[in-house]
Amino acid sequence: MREIIIDPVTRIEGHAKITIHLDDAGKVEDARLHVTQVRGFEKFCEGRPFYEMPSLMARICGICPISHLLASAKACDALMAVRIPRTGAKLRYVVHLGQMIQSHALSFFHLSAPDLLLGMDHDPATRNIMGLIEKSPELAKQGIALRKFGQQVIEWLAGERVHPSWIVPGGVNAPLDPEVRTRILSGIPEAMKIAENALSVLKSVVGNFAAEVESFGNFDSLHMGTVDDEGGLDFYDGGLRFKDAKGKIAADHVAAEDYAKFIGEAVVPWSYLKMPYYKPIGYPSGLYRVGPLARLNVIERCGTPKADKELKAFRKAYGAVAKSSFLYHYARLIEIIFSLEKLEELLNAPDILDTRVRAEAGPNCNEGVGICEAPRGTLIHHYKIDDNGLVTWANLIIATGNNNLAMNKSIKQVSQRFVDGNNLKEGMLNRVEAVVRAYDPCLSCSTHALGQMPMQIDLVSPAGDILDQVSRTSAM
């Protein structure tokens, strides 16, 4: 048996490598994603006052700090045992939507569009955002503008683009400035045009990727996401829903504090990233997916007109429960459209300028769980504190972590379909990386680890000798 190693994996957030094991005939036998970093946020927060947790935990990531701020602040709300003012909750959702837009735009335009629009076999030297700028300057410019808009929503509301201090336990620390509301609302039409254009571009090329749709993580699995009371799309609140490949709801409206009844975490010796699984089924068969595709699979409806129209078309094309992880790209763009519509809806709510935006309380509960839907999927922060409010224990399940089993299965599937150990080509390995990219993993987050995400592929013999290696150093 031989082994191929991709190290580092490029155009993702964090550090990872892939090993592809070949049999004696050069066919792919197995493939694994190894996350090669460890950080220890769950450990070093011990002993800190709980109300410092949002800012501390936000440092897990610079791409989606808002998600960590929110999940952490929600866990703190639970520790304080308060129901936060309605406007405070809405403002948190508004800033979260800004982040969804910027993170999804980054994933689509900067990281994945080079594969989708230049082609999987395109020269790797220009298969990046610069190459995209050369080929489709208008689209690249739009992508940058859309991401900027999302970042601006965060900055205008919260004061800073990365790691703002606005989101606090109990709500947010300042009400919405009417001028900011006007500014955001006036930017939505242009952003919507860009999002709709990107979706139509994707629809026009998705036909060229029939082989990828078929083999990029195309399998039956559970899907998980939070839904509102009516089963609609909800990024900020709601209960957890698990749905199987046949569309049957396995568990519904699971409250945040009950997550551990449904999600277990397995540890493997070859990766720092744990393997969450659906407990009632067990490990490893309890594989489930999270993120844009899973969210669209579990919901009844998005709840906004344009996104619902797109969801209908998406389901018509790929079924009520879409199976291929290649479709994450498609789902991500529908979610941008939803985010823009929801942003407008929330900002036009009559009470959005209300000045009561924060609940004050000390520690009233020794345990609290906060869950929100981060761009990459369901994010869970779970803390325990002593009677004085000092953290004694923390557990985090990060969006990308939830997808770990699915990513490994997808890598194996893509490798078996595209990689020929006897005739190794760069384009084959790029497809292996691209399936990882489809999940838009944030390994920095998922291991609560530090850094950008370079990656490497190694080809290893049955005896363990490295036969070939493709290595790249930078993410973007």
Partner 1 sequence: MPKQVKLKIDGEYVNATEGQSVLDAAKANGKFIPSLCHVQGLSGVGACRLCMVEIAGGARPLPACTTPVQEGMVINTVSERLSKYRRMIIELLLSERNHVCAVCVSNGHCELQDMATRLGVTHSSFPYRYPRLPVDASHPRFVLDHNRCILCSRCVRVCAEIEGANTWNIVSRGVNSMVAADLNEPWGDAESCTRCGKCVEACPTGALVVKGKAVEEMVKRTQTVSRLATARGGSR
Report the interface residues with partner 1, using CB under 8 A.
Answer: 47-49, 51-52, 54-56, 59, 163, 165, 168-169, 173, 360-362, 388-390
**Residue 183 Cβ, how far from partner 1 at the closest point, in Å?**
23
**Residue 261 Cβ, how far from partner 1 at the closest point, in Å?**
31
Residue 118 near residue 73, CB atoms below 8 Å: no
Which CB sits closer to partner 1, 137 or 362?
362
Residue 88 near residue 385, CB atoms below 8 Å: no
**Residue 364 Cβ, how far from partner 1 at the closest point, in Å?**
12
Residue 146's H or E segment, with its range, is helix 137-158
Distance from C-alpha of 457 to C-alpha of 4, rounded to nearest angstrom? 6
Distance from C-alpha of 132 to C-alpha of 168, rounded to nearest angstrom? 39
Distance from C-alpha of 209 to C-alpha of 400, rounded to nearest angstrom? 24
Which CB sits closer to partner 1, 171 or 377?
171
Distance from C-alpha of 4 to C-alpha of 459, rounded to nearest angstrom? 2
Which CB sits closer to partner 1, 55 or 297?
55
Which CB sits closer to partner 1, 159 or 178?
159
Strand spans (E) along 235-376: 239-243, 249-254, 263-266, 275-278, 288-289, 367-374
Distance from C-alpha of 467 to C-alpha of 3, rounded to nearest angstrom? 7
Beta bridge partners of 458: 5, 469
Which CB sits closer to partner 1, 59 or 253?
59
**Residue 446 Cβ, how far from partner 1 at the closest point, in Å?**
21
Q: Are strands 453-461 and 16-22 parallel, antiparallel or unpaired?
A: parallel
Residue with tokens 């609302």: 185
Q: Which amino acid is at 155?
A: E
**Residue 277 Cβ, how far from partner 1 at the closest point, in Å?**
33
**Residue 209 Cβ, how far from partner 1 at the closest point, in Å?**
42
Which CB sits closer to partner 1, 20 or 172?
172
Distance from C-alpha of 225 to C-alpha of 233, rounded to nearest angstrom? 9
**Residue 368 Cβ, how far from partner 1 at the closest point, in Å?**
15
Distance from C-alpha of 253 to C-alpha of 188, rounded to nearest angstrom? 31
- Residue 97: CA count within 13 A, CB half-sphere: 28
Say which DSSP state 177 is in: P
Distance from C-alpha of 188 to C-alpha of 193, rounded to nearest angstrom? 9
Distance from C-alpha of 17 to C-alpha of 36, rounded to nearest angstrom? 7
- Written as six digits, the tokens of 336 are 């941008």
**Residue 55 Cβ, how far from partner 1 at the closest point, in Å?**
4
**Residue 48 Cβ, how far from partner 1 at the closest point, in Å?**
7
**Residue 76 Cβ, how far from partner 1 at the closest point, in Å?**
9
Which CB sits closer to partner 1, 163 or 315?
163
Kindly give, in sequence order, each residue whose CB lies less than 8 Å from that of residue 44, ignoring residues fewer than 6 positions away: none
Which CB sits closer to partner 1, 38 or 317?
38
Which CB sits closer to partner 1, 50 or 288?
50
**Residue 155 Cβ, how far from partner 1 at the closest point, in Å?**
16
Which CB sits closer to partner 1, 432 or 449?
449
Beta bridge partners of 33: 18
Beta bridge partners of 380: 371, 397
Which CB sits closer to partner 1, 239 or 368?
368
Residue 10 near residue 475, CB atoms below 8 Å: yes
- Written as six digits, the tokens of 184 are 């955001």
